[in-house]
Structure formats: C-alpha cells, structure tokens
Structure 1
Amino acid sequence: MTLLYTEVEEELRAAVRDLLADRCSPSAVLGRVESGVESGTPYDAELWKTLTRDIGVGGLLVPEELGGAASGAGGASAREAAVVLEELGRAVAPVPFLASAVLATQALLSAWGTAGGDAGGVVAGELLGRLASGEATAALAVPFAASPYAPPAPAVALGEDGTVTGTVGGVIGAEIADVLLVPVRLTRGTALCAVEASPAAALGGAAGGAVGGAVRGPVRVTPATSLDLTRPVATVSFASAPARVVATAGGPETPWVREALLRGAGLLASEQLGIAEWCLATTVAYVRERRQFARPVGSFQAVKHRLADLWLEIAGARAAARNAAARLAEAPIAGDIAGDIAVAVAVTQAHCGAVAVHAAEECVQLHGGIGMTWEHPAHLYLKRAKADQIALGTPGDHREALAGPADLPAPV
C-alpha cells in the first residue's frame, strides 16, 4: 500500500479542480449562499450534473457491472472518492457528493452485496446504476450527526400496504434527492427501503423554500437551521409514502446504515483535509501581502510559528486521511468494516476534525478584520469544518471506539 497519489488520481483531481475553479469560486459560493437562504435552493444543481455526467464522480464507488467505475486494482475505489472530497472541501462546494455518492451509495452497496439475486438486490442494483450514470441523486434518511458505533433506531415504520410513515431529522442532501433511502422498523427486524421523491419543487424554489419546505406527494422536506450553509440539513416526513424494500435484517440492528456511516466517516476526513489545506494556503498568501509596521505580517516570528505548527498538523491529517482511504479501498465493496480498517477510520476521524477546525480558526484570526466579515469566505470554511467535526460521530466517539481494536484503555 502506498499513500502517494497515483497518476489517475492526479488526473481526476485536475479535472475536478479546474471545474470548481471555473464554476465554484469563493465569490460564487458566497453569492449562492446568500441567495439560497432566501430561495431555499442552496445546492448548485448544474454543477452537480456536470460532476456526475461529465466527470463521473457519482459512480466512483459503484462496480462496473452496475455502470460504475469501481473494478479491482485498475478501477476506481475509495481512494478516488477521497481525492474528489479533498477538492470539494477546498471549494466548500454546495453539491451532494457526500450524501449521494458516498453515504447513500455505500448503504446500497451493502444491501446489494448481501441480498444477492433476490428482489431487494435487484432494486439496489437498479438504483446504483441510476446514481452512477447521474440520472438520479439519493440521500440516506439518517441524521448527519449519527454515530456509526451506535446508529439510531429507525424512526419510520413500514406498513403492510408497502408504505412508510414517520419523520427523520438532520438529513443532508434530502432537498435535491430523487431517491430517499429510509431505514424502517418491521414487526420483527428492520429493513432499508427506497422512496422515490422528485426534487423539482425544491430546486425550482416555487413550491418549497426555506420556510415551508418542499412537499413531494407523501414526502415533505422541511429545511432546518444549519450551521453549514453550503450543506443544509432537513427534516423529512413520510405520510404513507410508497416504498420498495432493498434489504432486511432479522434483529434490531441496521447493518447497511452502520457500514455506510463508518465508510462515510473514513472518507469525510479527506474533505476535512481539503478544508484545512485551503485555509493554510490562503492564510500564507495573505500574511505575505498584508503589511504592518512597514513589513509583511508573515515575517513576524509569532505568525511563522503558528503557521508552521498548523502545517505539521495538516501533514499528519493528510497521512491519516490517505491511510483511511487506502484501507477502505482494500476492503470488499460490501464487507463489514473491522480490524485495521476500523482502526484507520477511527484514527483519522479522531484527528482530522480538530485539525480542520483549528486551520479554519487560524485562517479567520490571521486575516484580521477582513476575516471576521461576511464578505470573506473564511466563515464558510469554519462553519463547514465545525459541522464536519460533529458529523458521523464526534472525535470523542472515535477515540472511544479505538479502545478495543487498539487494545488501549477507554477514555474516562
């Protein structure tokens, strides 16, 4: 295993970075955030279409046999998805890549891998093909703050008539999702269901908006107050919504959700790495230009030391994030996460979240007065970093999870 970027990964990075530089500059993101608060359309649907249909990021984790790009050593894997997340983190891009191409896709892959050729496996395969082609976008109806070590019990019930009823809060990507993957409770056991929902109302802004939400037949998506304005959360309500069963489990556990959250946590570290790298690079460029007492601010020893310490933290975060991505790439597509892979995920999330927040805080502080304003994009990175830190398990959750696999005493 090597943590260095391959030529294919660098080419993918260049394609994504060029697109984001052209379509997702800091000023463009700021403008979309300001307009999105009023219109209820925070996501850039056109940018997302270009990423999925022209570059193919939606199918990086989907097997070739289902129309995706993942295929052994020669195809895409978690490493390529991590590279995309790095670039999206650098741009705080308002696209649902994490929600659709990572979390929802991983839940479907887990269901597809265990269901085999039964009806649920067929549904999962069909949905994965739609996601890989860019035809559809999906969201996993689980709170973004859910810990992979203790996934929440399903809050939605599946009726005998094949419809689901219930409410889930804190969901990311629901506003733009064509398909909602919903963990549900059964009389005996649990299931993962797919609910079709057209996002036209949410994207158009006419039927929804930030106040009333978007009503899509028996599905209602109500935006909630979100710290990260580039990745909003919503409450999703189902009122006898028709659903297709993707997978079932005999006990109270939801294995597909746990696997999706754990793999998502491992890849989220790459987004946190991208945030930290942008904050460091932008701050270094600023203190070289900004002058006080007839000399650049960056020439003062105290500033140099702060930036040098931050560089070392980010170097460690890069190693941890790359290790997690490489370990996940080696794991079976639908295999249980355990052993060294689980350790790598827990280590990277315990470390990278704090590094991203620290980098964003230093970016705001070392920019001085301009860093405190709404006009500068630094606040977007600080909000994204903090929201990511408490998503998919807090650093404390991951440190506690390390106690068993690493044979260390648990935190008191």
Structure 2
Amino acid sequence: MKFSFNQEQQHIAHIADAFLSSVSNSESIREAMVTETGIDGVLWQQITQKMGWHLTHIPEQFNGLGLGYVELCILLERMGANLVCAPFYSTVVLGINSLLIAGTKTQKKQWLPLIAEGQKRLALAYSSQGRVWGVESVTAQYQQQDNSFVINADYRYVIDGHTADAFVVAARDVSSGNIALFLLSAETVGVTRYWTPSMDQTRKLATVKLENVCVAKDSIMLDTCGDSLIPLDNILALACIALAAEQMGVAEKSLSLTLDYMAERKQFGRVIGSFQAMKHKAADMLSKVEAARSAVYYAACVADEFMAGNDMGAELLEAASIAKAYCCEAAYFNTGSALQMHGGFGFTWECDVQLYFKRAKAAQVSLGDSAWHKDRIANAILGTVGLDVVAG
C-alpha cells in the first residue's frame, strides 16, 4: 500500500484542479443552487461527456475506466473544494457502489453502461428517521406477493432524489424484519418525490414516498431477499469515505480562502495575516487538513482492498468511520474558523465562506455524526459490536 500519488493520480488531481476552478466558480455555484434541481446542467454534461469522471470506478467490462477508490477520492476532494453542483455523489458514489456491491449480473449489465453513457442518474433511499443512522434507520416495509413485491416507504434526506431516474431502496420484510434492496424506476406507479429545502443550498435533498409500489421479482438485488443488511452497511461505509474526501476539500478550500483574505485585509495599518493570533489559528486549520488527508486516503486504500476482495478490506467500516468522524469535524472547525477570521464579512451572503460552512454542517450530520461513528469504533474495539464485511 503506497501513501503517495503515482504519476497518473497526480495528473488526475492537476486536471481536476484546472477544470473545476474555471467551471465551478462562485457565480456558477450561486446560479445553480437557487434552482429547485440544484444542478448545473452544463457542468454535469461536461463531467460526463468531456471529462468522463463518472466512469472512474466502473469496471471496464461495463464501459468504465476501471480505476480505484483512491482516484475517485481525488476527484471528490476537488469537487468538495469547488462545491460542485452536480449529481456526481448521488449517482457515482451511492448509485454505482450499490450496483457494484449488491446488483445482480443482469442489473449491472443493464444499468452500468447507461450510467457510463450519461443517460441515467441513480439515488439511494434507505433512511426514514432523522436521528438514527446506518442500517438501523431502515423502517420501510415490503411484502412478497407471488412473483412481485409491494413496498411502502417514506424516505427522507435522499440526495438528488427529486431528479434521479431510478432508485436503490432499502426495505424490511414485514414478517421477518430482514432488509432487502430493490432497484426501481422513478416513474414506477406509486412513487412520489419532492424537493426538501435544507441548510446546504449546494446539495439538494428530497423526500421519496412509495405507496403500495409493486415491483417485479427482477427488481430485487442480490438475487434473493432478506440478506442485504451487510451489503447496505458496506455501501454506506463507502459513501462515508467519499463524503470524508469532499469534506477534506471543504476544509482545505476554507483555509485557502482565509489565507487570501488575511493577505488583503488591513487593520490598524497592517494586514491581519501579520497578527500572531491569526497565524496560530491558520496553523491549526492546516493541521486539521493534513490529518484529514491521511484519514481519507488510508480509508480509500482500504476501500480498494475491499472491492478487490482482499483481507485488508475487513477494515472497511472502521476506516470509514474514522475518516467520516475526523474529516467532518475538521471541515466544521475550519469553516467556522474561516467565518470568524473573515469578521463580519464572513457571515454575509456575498462571502463564499458561509456556503462552505453550510456544506460542512450538513455533511457533519449526514450518514451519522461524529459521535455516532466514534461510538461505533469504540464498540468495535471493545468487541461489543462486530465490523464484519463481505466483498461485493
């Protein structure tokens, strides 16, 4: 396992920096975030048709690039730094990972090429409660009727759920309580979804309701029902690593914006960057970024081992919780510090720092807050809760 980028990874990072700094700027972000979809259509088309980033970890047999999670996190770090308003996280992270881990051969063959062509966007809907995370938050129910299934659900906080073409949904058997995953079109009869306004305007959430939705037997994932608890846990762990990578980008960009401001803003006849207190705070922010980077890319390496079916992949859930807990705290600390160091200007609508603060806070509570993940790590260390995983 290497802890430095190879030449190809460095090239990916350089291209991503150059591209996103020109197309995902303050003006374009603000134009997209005030719309109900929250998507910069031109940017998304460029990502899929020109850059091909959505192909990153799609296997080559499905028209993808067949790269790893490290390469994906490199892109997500830059996307977090530029607050990209596109359905990349929902489709490429949540959707593709769901297919890779839990999809049947038929589902992979049908959907992955469509995603690769930029024709379809997916979303993951699993949680129906606000203060419970992980597989415990699945309260939707399904019941088998002959060769079909009937699902009733009220999913909350579904990322890009109001614009997705299809959903991967989690539900429990009404009799056994076992969890199953289903893949269904957003146009299925009985499915309703609508945008739910939230703190972070740059990432849209939705409520998705399923009322007596009847799906065919081939909609169920893993070929059989009732054994999707561990796969769902793994999907969410991979999502946590990806979100941690975004938050590292948020933390680093908030530091960059602050350093620029410190070099320009004058007080008492001196630039504020010359004051010792400001230097100390900036140093604290930098230390948060560097520690976050270590957590993210270690977790990304573990994710690659997991996807390859290697022994080290058994550390997936633990590495994911460490990365999620620390990186979200780092982003919240850095964006909060950036607000303070910008003074009164930092709280104004014209200042971009407040957008990063909102993203940091929203991400901090998504997929489990730091306390939830720390508790999970502690329970695993003490042996009270297992962190067993199975390869997809």
Q: Same fold (TM over 0.5)?
A: yes
Helix, strand or coil: the match of 1:331?
Answer: helix
- What corresponds to 2:102 in structure 1? 111
CA apart distance, 1:361: 0.7
Would you say the 8 A contact 1:357–1:389 is kept in 2? Answer: yes
- Confirm or deny that 1:27 pairs with 2:61: no
Helix, strand or coil: the match of 1:180?
Answer: strand
CA apart distance, 1:351: 1.0
- What corresponds to 1:192 in structure 2? 181
- What corresponds to 2:338 in structure 1? 363
Rounded to whole Å, the distance in 2 between the matches of 1:154 and 1:124 is: 26
Rounded to whole Å, the distance in 1 between the matches of 2:213 and 2:382 is: 46
* Aligned positions of 1:14-163 closer than 5 A: 14-34=14-34, 36=35, 40-70=36-66, 76-112=67-103, 120-143=104-127, 149-158=134-143, 160=145, 161-162=148-149
CA apart distance, 1:84: 0.9
- Deviations 1:99-144 (CA, angstroms, capped at 9, x unpaired): 11011211111113xxxxxxx4312332122223322110011239
Rounded to whole Å, the distance in 1 between the matches of 2:87 and 2:106 is: 25
Helix, strand or coil: the match of 1:324?
Answer: helix
Rounded to whole Å, the distance in 2 between the matches of 1:274 and 1:125 is: 33
CA apart distance, 1:294: 0.9
- What corresponds to 2:257 in structure 1? 282
In structure 2, the CA distance between the partners of 1:337 and 1:225, relative to structure 1 (3 Å rule), is farther
CA apart distance, 1:10: 2.2
CA apart distance, 1:197: 2.4
- What corresponds to 1:180 in structure 2? 167
User: Which of the residues 383, 387, 392 maps onto 2:367?
Assistant: 392
Helix, strand or coil: the match of 1:247?
Answer: coil
CA apart distance, 1:178: 1.0
Bigger relative contact order, structure 1 or 2 (CA pairs below 8 A, ≥6 apart):
1
* Aligned positions of 1:128-277 closer than 5 A: 128-143=112-127, 149-158=134-143, 160=145, 161-162=148-149, 164-186=151-173, 189-197=178-186, 218-241=190-213, 243=215, 244-247=219-222, 251=226, 254-277=229-252
Aligned partner letter, 2:359 = R
CA apart distance, 1:404: 4.5
In structure 2, the CA distance between the partners of 1:392 and 1:55, relative to structure 1 (3 Å rule), is same
- Deviations 1:208-257 (CA, angstroms, capped at 9, x unpaired): xxxxxxxx863221111311111121111224445322235554753332
- Deviations 1:262-304 (CA, angstroms, capped at 9, x unpaired): 1111221110110011000110011011111111100001111
CA apart distance, 1:167: 2.0
Aligned partner letter, 1:50 = Q
Would you say the 8 A contact 1:347–1:398 is kept in 2? Answer: yes
Which runs of no fewer than 5 residues in structure 1 stay unpaired?
A: 71-75, 113-119, 199-215
User: Which of the residues 305, 311, 314 maps onto 2:286?
Assistant: 311
Rounded to whole Å, the distance in 1 between the matches of 2:221 and 2:112 is: 12
Percent pairwise identity: 27
Would you say the 8 A contact 1:15–1:55 is kept in 2? Answer: no
CA apart distance, 1:163: 5.1
Aligned partner letter, 1:99 = S
Would you say the 8 A contact 1:147–1:397 is kept in 2? Answer: no
Would you say the 8 A contact 1:164–1:239 is kept in 2? Answer: yes
Aligned partner letter, 1:219 = V
Rounded to whole Å, the distance in 2 between the matches of 1:336 and 1:121 is: 24
> 186-195 or 248-257, which moves further after superposition?
248-257
Rounded to whole Å, the distance in 2 between the matches of 1:328 and 1:372 is: 37
Would you say the 8 A contact 1:195–1:242 is kept in 2? Answer: no
Rounded to whole Å, the distance in 2 between the matches of 1:55 and 1:121 is: 27
Rounded to whole Å, the distance in 1 between the matches of 2:11 and 2:316 is: 26
In structure 2, the CA distance between the partners of 1:325 and 1:376, relative to structure 1 (3 Å rule), is same
In structure 2, the CA distance between the partners of 1:390 and 1:149, relative to structure 1 (3 Å rule), is same
How many correspondences in the alignment?
A: 377
Would you say the 8 A contact 1:58–1:133 is kept in 2? Answer: no
Rounded to whole Å, the distance in 1 between the matches of 2:59 and 2:78 is: 23
Rounded to whole Å, the distance in 2 between the matches of 1:107 and 1:309 is: 37
CA apart distance, 1:21: 2.1
CA apart distance, 1:382: 0.3
Rounded to whole Å, the distance in 1 between the matches of 2:65 and 2:150 is: 33
In structure 2, the CA distance between the partners of 1:405 and 1:253, relative to structure 1 (3 Å rule), is same
What TM-score, normalized to structure 2?
Answer: 0.88
Helix, strand or coil: the match of 1:402?
Answer: helix
Rounded to whole Å, the distance in 1 between the matches of 2:181 and 2:131 is: 16
Would you say the 8 A contact 1:27–1:377 is kept in 2? Answer: no
CA apart distance, 1:20: 1.9
Aligned partner letter, 1:155 = A
Would you say the 8 A contact 1:193–1:247 is kept in 2? Answer: no
Would you say the 8 A contact 1:259–1:337 is kept in 2? Answer: no
- What corresponds to 1:9 in structure 2? 9
What TM-score, normalized to structure 1?
Answer: 0.84
Rounded to whole Å, the distance in 2 between the matches of 1:336 and 1:140 is: 27
Would you say the 8 A contact 1:20–1:91 is kept in 2? Answer: yes
Rounded to whole Å, the distance in 2 between the matches of 1:185 and 1:406 is: 29
Rounded to whole Å, the distance in 2 between the matches of 1:395 and 1:269 is: 11
Rounded to whole Å, the distance in 1 between the matches of 2:132 and 2:243 is: 13
Would you say the 8 A contact 1:139–1:181 is kept in 2? Answer: yes
